[in-house]
Structure formats: structure tokens, C-alpha cells
Amino acid sequence: MVHVKEVARRSRAARAGILPGDVLVSVNGNEIEDVLDYRFYLADESVTLSLARNGEPYDVTIEKEEYDDIGLGFETPLMDKKQSCRNKCVFCFIDQLPSGMRDSLYFKDDDARLSFLHGNYITLTNLTDRDVDRVLNMHFSPINVSVHTTNPDLRVTMMKNPHAGEALHHLHRLAEGGIELHCQIVLCRGLNDGNELDRTMHDLAALYPAVSSVSVVPAGLTRHREGLYPLEPFTKEESIAVLDQVEAFASAHFEAYGSRLFFCSDEFYLAADRELPNEEFYEGYPQIENGVGMLTSLYTEFISWQNEIKGKKLLFPRHVSIATGVSAYPMISKIARQMERRFPGLSVTVYEIKNRFFGESITVAGLLTATDIIDQLRGKDLGHVLILPADVLRSEGDLFLDDKTPADVERTLGTSVRFAKNDGASLAAAILRRSPRGRKE
């Protein structure tokens, strides 16, 4: 049963007399099991909701614009429990977390509904044929899929799930049904690289254009891997080889179809000490949330912002500091130097924070903890304000991964802290204490 938790004031649902506590049974005669059913059947301009109050059934009909919401809130965003992951992947990042962190960080989701709603990656191992039928009938698209390998036996080995190989048939059904698929390959040294990577790229390319982008990212390895599968990071030479292999395949695909399809994450370019590709290379950044083209996008947005504010001047001398991860440090420093040249009187100090909480092989800014930031900035001249990447906080914006708050950082370091979104305009705006369009905040 789906219980109504909230009814927005003055909403269509409120005007129809629906109350918190009512049970939603069906929309236009279609039983509602979760949010996908609800959103799909609510899209019509005229909807009849069958509900129950204290066990007594009643119906309401609501007229609205197509796709408009009617103002109902439910106990959970999915109107159901999240599906947890049934795999035990050899590279799973959650298995590498230290003990003692908040419980929510240890939950492994593998829910196709979250893939559609929020872009989460799924492994397909939780899907049944009935689930795939529903996705196809409702045409929920796009869906993000963690493939890793198209070798069924190797997929079982890597995911430690006897059904991981056979679950690949769902990928083919989704592709044949016209569902857009964004795939990722978490590359593990000595497992799914080399010839196995070639096989996976060939197999996924055969599903183009349904498979519309594929990211190749290195497995993130923390220092908390006691008792886990022995994985090692890619060396510089091995990273160069991966880039050469993927880019050669991608170039051939581009010549044939006009799309590279396969993209390596920024981490491989940094590990290989190779220049990042330009914006055009990334074809609209379909995998930016996976760390593919993130640094190029950051710099491109900064240049665009800088071109829009010609004639603007700094109103008073200003010294700010920025803390970021090892991966982003060179690019953030480049932007800082250009900001200083553009605005006389501006001083920007960029600090590279090493990740000692998870291990120094983890270099992305989003996995920095307040503890590492505090320990490595204590006693430093941080200027008027310390700028941190917004993705160091959980989605509510109140806690770091180690459960410390922004106020804890401010109090300990004795300076104001502000957060910048992961784009060049927001970073520049935070440095100048102005909005992206040049207005004071």
C-alpha cells in the first residue's frame, strides 16, 4: 500500500479533498506500486485517483496540464524501499570504507528506478524480465548501467554473483527496446583490462546507438582493503596504454559513426601525465558525473564566465584560499593565476589536500573529509574566506563524510567557509564573492 504523507497547500490534490494518511490505490485504473507507476500514469491531462480513507474507498478526478504534478508527497521518494545491491564486487568502494561512519554510507543501492530518476548506475542483477518489461512499456530512458565486462564468466568473478553473467541479456533487451543506455567500465588492473577491455568495447559498440556513451574509469582503491581482493592501481605506463587502447577504438568508432562512444575518465589522463582533451572531444559531456571531462568543463566554463564580465573590476583588495583534491589542484591553480592577472589586488592561494582518511591514492575532491582539510590547513593564512568544493558535503549540504559540519571547520580554522559548485563560473563567483552573472550575493 502507498500512503499519502503530505498534501501541498492549495494544490490540485488539496482542492480535491485528499488528506495525509489516505491510501493511494490506483491512477486511471492502474495499480500503483512505486514512483515509476505514479509518474507514468499521472502524466495524463485527466486523472482519476482511487484512494481509501479509514478503509473506505473513494475516487477523485483531477484536470490538469500534461505532466503537471498534483501536490502529493509520500513516505519515501520511491514510494517503496530502495533495492540493495546483491553483488560483492572486488572493487566495491563501500567495502573499502572504514568502520564507524554513519550507517547510510554503507548502503549499496542497485535500483533501476534511481537510475532513471537520479542517474545512479545499476548492474542489472536486481532486474527480472518483468521489471524489464515495465521499463520497455513505460519507456523509461535513459538508464545508466555498470557493465565492467561483457564476458559472462569474468563478470561473475568480478561481481561475485552467479547471476551477473546471465543478467547481461537485460542489456540487450533494453537496447533492442530503444532505451538509451549510458554504460561504465570500472577497470581493474589484471582483470578486465587488455584483451578483455577490447572484447567489452566491441560488444558494447555493437549496441550503438542504444548504448550512447561508455566511460572507462579506474577502480578507486582506499587504504582500507584488508581481506579484500588484491587490486593494484594503474602505473603511469599502464595508464598511457589504457588511454592509447581506448582512444584508438574510439577514434575508429568516430570515423565510422560520428561518435567516439568510449571516454576515459580524467584520472587516467592525470595518471598518464597527458594533456586533457578539449571540450569538443567530449561530445556534450554525457559522462561528466563519472569524472569524464570534468576538469575540461570546469576550465571551459571559467573562460566563458571571464569573457562575459569584461570591464568588471575588483572593488577592494581580497585574499581568498581554495582547498581541493590532488586531481583538481593543477586546474584550480591555473584558474587562480588567471583570476589574479585579471583582477589586480586579488590574491588566491590554492591548497592541495592529500586524502589521508581514505588513502592518498584517492585524489578526487569530492571524497575529502573535514578532518584532512583541518589537519592540513591548520595554522595557514587562509585570507578572507576558504572556498571548498560543494560535493565534499552530502546532498543536504550539512555534513562531510566524517560527520563534521561546515561550522566545525570554520570554528577550528578561524575563518569563513563557503562552497562552490563544480563549475568554473561558480568557482570564480565564489572567489569574487559575486554571483555567476557578476551581481553581489
439 in any annotated domain? no
Range of the domain at 46: 2-74
| Same structural domain, 140 and 210 | yes
| Same structural domain, 272 and 334 | no
The CATH number linked to 50 is 2.30.42.10
82 in any annotated domain? no
409 in any annotated domain? yes
Rounded CA-CA distance 190/235 in Å is 12
The pLDDT score that the predictor gives to residue 441 is 39
440 in any annotated domain? no
- Residue 39 contacts by C-beta under 8 Å, 6 or more apart in sequence? none
Q: Residue 138: exposed, middle, or buried by beta-carbon count in 10 A (0-12, 13-18, 19+)?
A: middle
Residue 53's H or E segment, with its range, is: strand 46-53
Per-residue pLDDT reduced to its tens digit, 57-78: 999 999 999 889 999 998 876 6
| Same structural domain, 67 and 173 | no
**Which segments of the chain have a pLDDT < 70?**
77-83, 107, 111-118, 434-441
The pLDDT score that the predictor gives to residue 116 is 61
Per-residue pLDDT reduced to its tens digit, 393-422: 988 889 999 999 999 999 999 999 999 998
| Same structural domain, 101 and 247 | yes
85 in any annotated domain? no
34 in any annotated domain? yes
| Same structural domain, 138 and 65 | no
89 in any annotated domain? no
In 273-311, where does DSSP find H-type helix?
A: 294-308
| Same structural domain, 215 and 331 | no
420 in any annotated domain? yes
Beta-strand relationship, 46-53 and 30-31: unpaired
The pLDDT score that the predictor gives to residue 82 is 66
The CATH number linked to 340 is 3.40.50
pTM to 2 decimal places: 0.84
| Same structural domain, 102 and 250 | yes
| Same structural domain, 325 and 383 | yes
| Same structural domain, 31 and 151 | no
| Same structural domain, 315 and 260 | no
| Same structural domain, 197 and 49 | no
Work out how many domains the chain is built from and give that number: 3
Per-residue pLDDT reduced to its tens digit, 95-111: 898 887 877 777 677 76
Domain boundary among 74, 108, 129: 74
